[in-house]
Amino acid sequence: MPIRAGAAFLPLTVLLSLAAPRAGKLSDRLGSRGLITAGMTLLAIMLAYFSRLGAHASFWALLPGLCVGGIGMGMSMTPATAAVMRAVPVAKAGVGSAVLNSMRQVGGSLGIAVMGAIVASGIASSLRRGDPPKTAYLHGFHHALGVAALLALTGAIVALATIRNSAAPPIPGQSPRPSTQALRGS
């Protein structure tokens, strides 16, 4: 059973692996804001979709959400890293990378704890209403997925509002794009 559960997530993993490098290249050309916003929106859609599935949903019912989520994660993770690394001076790149990785670890741990608390609260309230344990668990899980969807959508809005949309600096040896000052003749 654990192998089947792991294999069920392969579409998400494969799409994440395919989308992330492409999103990184797009981020270098276009900036990170739009990609992160779109990726977080896709994650919110996946989570909201999963919050509506029943206890007997098949793999085929999960597959659309897994595909949307894989693309969304790929679209947001690499551009987020690029945005952080572009925001710090080159001399502080190691510190910027360390802070980013630490925040990912802390955020993941905190997210699991908060979602677990929401699941537990949903289970308890459902059991008090007299629902059977399996129904109570599903109710708690749906509630946590709904909250996670709202958090992902909030992340998309914050990304849109706060991330500077600068592209990667030109690579040494390549001719840079003319600056606006050069175009004005100053």
Question: How confident is the model over 61-89, as pLDDT tens digits?
Answer: 999 999 999 999 999 999 999 998 988 99
What mean pLDDT is predicted for residues 127-136?
Answer: 95
- C-alpha 103/C-alpha 99 separation (Å) is 6
pLDDT(178) > 50: no
Q: Which amino acid is at 122?
A: G
What mean pLDDT is predicted for residues 156-177?
Answer: 73
Report the pLDDT value the prediction gives residue 50, as an integer from 0 to 100: 97
Q: In the CATH hierarchy, which fold is given to the domain comprising 2-166?
A: Growth Hormone; Chain: A; (1.20.1250)
DSSP class of 174: S
Is the separation of the CB atoms in 66 and 47 below 8 Å?
no
Domain boundaries, the chain: 2-166
- The structure tokens listed for 24 are 């990184």
